[in-house]
Structure 1
Amino acid sequence: MAPAQDQRSRSSKPATIHGCAQSGDLSAFQKKLQENPSLLNARNAVMAQTPLHVAAGYNNAMIVKFLLDWRGPEKIELEAKNMYGETPLHMAAKNGCNEAAQLLLDRGAFVEAKANNGMTPLHLAVWYSLRAEDYLTVKTLLESDADCNVKDNEGMTPLNHLSQGPRNEKLQELLNWHLEEQRKRKAIEACCETKAKMAELEEAISNIVGLHDLKLQLRKWAKGMLLDEKRRALGLKIASRKPPHMAFLGNPGTGKTMVARILGRLLHMIGILPTDKVTEVQRTDLVGEFVGHTGPKTRRKIKEAEGGILFVDEAYRLIPMQKADDKDYGLEALEEIMSVMDSGKVIVIFAGYSEPMKRVISSNEGFRRRVTKFFYFGDFSSTELAQITHLKMNAPVKDNLLYGFKLHPSCSVEAIEELIEREITEKQRKEMNGGLVDPMLENARENLDLRLDFDSVDADSLLTVTIEDLEAGLRSLSQ
């Protein structure tokens, strides 16, 4: 590397700011930058490198520090990339410039930055160390938690690159030690995240009334997926899990749609799904009126649902009551759905009455193979309906009519259960199930409004639903 004076003697041209950065002539560099601050991040003609790239690549630490401390109107581009996609930290790493690398890292340079070939600074530092037997820059990057397991565009990790050069036991030992430490730390972090996610899962499950089998299955999936996270954090190679297609069987109002929405959020949280979206469809969303319409119509809905759940409500309506009905296109829609269920792009939930759903199960020989989880949604008891009432009042959504309201202390689960038993027949309860709760509460609010006196109410009374209001709500409903 020729000093700046020798370069000037060979050329009549004055040294550029990049030349000063290379030579380490701090006073000349400072003068040029103060005269023209726009040169701070200027690119040179050939490599498209900034002065920081050059100074870092030649380990001119004083110039690197001066640039990092610059307080002009324009800020230094710490992650600027040259024509090869390399940052200043890449330049320091590939040339074993440890002092410059440390300065850049101390100022927040991204240790996992990737060049166009996918190499990180650690990849390049290993290459340098193999040639020069100087491990300082590798050690500095590892102390800044550079990932030993990151892969370049050819699938090579920094450790893999050791096989490309002369055997170097000291360098291999250094990388292996840090790799093991990183695995241990990731396993501990994964364990903490697992506990947090399981706590979030339990909170969400607590909002589902009944459905013991479904809750148990959710816990199994969650624990399995979260343990897989820990296994991968330890560097263990394991197969990915297949998405679980399901059938929800039960009467209307038993919570099938609500549970599907909760399920979407939970399966996304534990890593089975990339998104939490639930696309709800019925026969009319899938089946066309003429030949050739059903396939494209169904495929559009499947595409819309990708990454989440396709919830097919009243799925039995896709299957004609009479086998000879060759004008019905529901079977075509079902076959389109079946054709994508092995792709892993979407989870399908078929929902409907238990008895008619047998037509769906028997209509396609691949149904039982693909739909492996069947959950029965039983009719809600009076106790469960009372629990749902409390859940809705304790955690209402903002667009709910009862948002901001609360139940009077006398409205215990037991009191509401007794009220439902007294005011609603078993036949009505089984016909409506959870669909009974919202209209009961809406009617109760109307009764609250009716009985309030404009002149004699306080703020608490304005928002409190009493057992009398609920009773009036149920009577209006039963009538």
Structure 2
Amino acid sequence: MISESYKHQLIKEAKQIDVTLGQTSNFEKLAQEITDELNDKAVLELIKNLGILTKKQSLPKMEQRQEKFIEILYKYLGASKVDGLFQDLKESSNVSLDELLNQLNELVGLENVKQQVRDLIDYNRIQHLRVKNGLKKSNKTLHMAFLGNPGTAKTTVARIVGRMYKAIGLLSKGQFIEASRTDLIAEYQGQTAIKVKRLINRAKGGVLFIDEAYSITENDHSDSYGRESLTELTKALEDYRNDLVVIVAGYTNLMEQFFESNPGLKSRFNTFISFSNYSLDELVQIFIYTCNQNDYFAEDQAIEKVRDLLQMKLNEKDDHFSNGRLVRNLFDDITLNQSKRLSKLTEHIAKESLMLITKEDVPQDGGLFSIEQ
């Protein structure tokens, strides 16, 4: 496997750096933690050390060796993994609780969700202060279940909650790890528990968000791997409850079946938050907000046409109605149409024209195929 090749190269280069720097260096140890356990903390510590060395070291060829090591690290873990780790660290360490509360309040709709999150933060802040003052705290876990249809901002809220818990001192790192069935279940017998343990190890100190969690046990009568995964996950919920938040999410009725699939699973979750579908006015607000966030401005006639299209989709909706994702797909269609319209112009295109969305850019009734959920 190509990853095995990069693994050997990574450890080899780490050894060379240790040899060059002497006894105080521990690059090989950190590299071993990365390859054996996919330890995110080790990745950050290792690259942090490389950054310090880049500034301070004057040893011959050290800079080239560092660059080669980082290049192999990116190949071994993947650029998105390393970059995402840095982004999560940056966001979780530099944002205050007040800023995060503002981010929560700016979300369209979700008033019940926002209030439950605010109540949770108030409660856990006081519990944390009790511990700091030598008092007993509640035995409630931090784990949560988000129940509702797709596109109702469950992932967005989960990210904000994780950063809030980091901001008030409940989580040591605050990173956000998304997972699905494929991240929790292996292809071969006996490997699933190992896979879950590695995922938990990556998530410790932060949030593990499992969307469509019911898929773990969707083949309950024949899927022994799914049951093995759930057993290991249930154990981790208790073992690491003081520095890990697991948030499971999915359709309400399917999540109820999920909690019934393993004795004791539901008791590990103290907070259940229901995410309602958006109303028509809220969907329109999401569209306007998306325009603003991307430097677009929609004229009134365009907004009214968007409202009509969204009303039509609301009239047709079923249990799989995709809410905010529907709006995002519609926005993508509209900006594509705007680009095609502007590309036909021969004269100079002004900045205002690049920003403006007109009613001509909004698809007709028959043009909704790309925003089907």
| Shared fold, TM over 0.5 | yes
- 2:150, 2:336 → 1: CA distance? 26
The one-character-per-residue Cα deviations of 1:249-273 (angstroms, maximum 9, x if unpaired) are 2222222222222222222223322
Distance in 1, Cα, partners of 2:188 & 2:126 = 49
Q: For residue 355 of structure 2, what is the amino acid of its counterpart?
A: L
Answer yes or no: is 1:385 the counterpart of 2:283: yes
Alignment of 1:338 with 2:250, yes or no, is: no
For residues 229 and 345 of structure 1, the distance between their equivalents in structure 2, rounded to whole angstroms, comes to 12
Alignment of 1:457 with 2:354, yes or no, is: no
Matching residue of 1:361 = 259
For 1:460, give the aligned amino acid.
Answer: E
Aligned twin of 1:448 = 338
CA distance in 1, matches of 2:119, 2:313: 40
2:183 aligned with 1:291, yes or no?
A: no
**Any idea what SS the aligned residue of 1:329 has?**
helix
Number of the residue aligned with 1:200 = 99
Determine the structure 1 residue equivalent to 2:329.
439
Q: Is the 8 A contact 2:177 2:208 kept in 1?
A: yes
1:237 counterpart (106, 115, 134):
134
Q: Which residue of 2 aligns with 1:120?
A: none
CA deviation map 1:24-71 (0-9, x unaligned): xxxxxxxxxxxxxxxxxxxxxxxxxxxxxxxxxxxxxxxxxxxxxxxx
Return closer, same or farther for 1:317/1:408 CA change in 2, 3 Å cut-off: closer
**RMSD value over aligned CA atoms?**
3.0
- The structure-2 alpha-carbon separation of the partners of 1:269 and 1:349, relative to structure 1 and needing over 3 Å to count, comes to same
| Structure 2 letter corresponding to 1:466 | T
Quote the offset at 1:227 in angstroms: 4.8
Deviations 1:417-476 (A, max 9, x none): 344214664327952221112221111111112222231532211122234423459934
Which of 189, 192, 198 aligns to 1:300? It is 198
Residue pair 1:286, 1:297 contacting (<8 A) in 2 also: yes
Structure-2 change in CA distance of 1:373 and 1:429 (3 Å): closer
Alignment of 1:129-278 (within 5 A): 199-227=98-126, 236-239=133-136, 243-278=141-176
Q: For residues 367 and 441 of structure 1, what CA distance do their matches in structure 2 show?
A: 40
Q: Distance in 2 between matches of 1:270 and 1:285?
A: 29
TM-score by length of 2: 0.64
CA 1:368 to 1:322, structure 2 compared with 1: closer, same or farther past 3 Å?
Answer: closer
Paired residues of 1:447 and 1:472 also in contact (CA < 8 A): no
Distance 1:383 1:203 in 2: 21
How many residue pairs were aligned?
A: 272
Q: CA deviation at 1:201?
A: 3.5
| Distance change (3 Å), C-alpha of 1:456 and 1:443 | same
Larger RCO, structures 1/2 (Cα 8 Å, 6+ apart)? 2
- Shift of the 307–322 alpha-carbon distance from structure 1 to 2, 3 Å rule, reads closer
Secondary structure of residue in 2 paired with 1:365: coil
TM-score, length of structure 1 as denominator length: 0.51
1:314 has 2:212 as partner = yes
Match of 2:39 in 1: none
Of all paired residues, the percent bearing the same amino acid is 33
How far apart in 2 are the matches of 1:411 and 1:266?
40
Partner letter of residue 337 of structure 1?
L
| Gap change, CA 1:274 and 1:380, over 3 Å in 2 | same
- Measured in 2, the distance between the counterparts of 1:412 and 1:362 equals 47
Bigger-Rg structure (1/2): 1
In structure 2, C-alpha distance between the alignment counterparts of 1:456 and 1:418, rounded to whole Å: 33
Separation in 1, partners of 2:184, 2:99 = 35
Provide the C-alpha distance between the structure 1 equivalents of 2:128 and 2:299, rounded to a whole number of angstroms: 44
Tell me, yes or no, if the aligned pair for 1:246 and 1:374 is still in contact at 8 Å.
Answer: yes
2:113 match: secondary structure? helix
| Alpha carbons 2:141, 2:268 under 8 Å: kept | no
Distance 1:245 1:436, change over 3 A: same
Quickly say closer, same or farther: Cα 1:302–1:270, change in 2 above 3 A. Answer: same
What code does the residue aligned with 2:237 have? M
- Give the 3-state SS of the residue equivalent to 2:288 in structure 1: helix
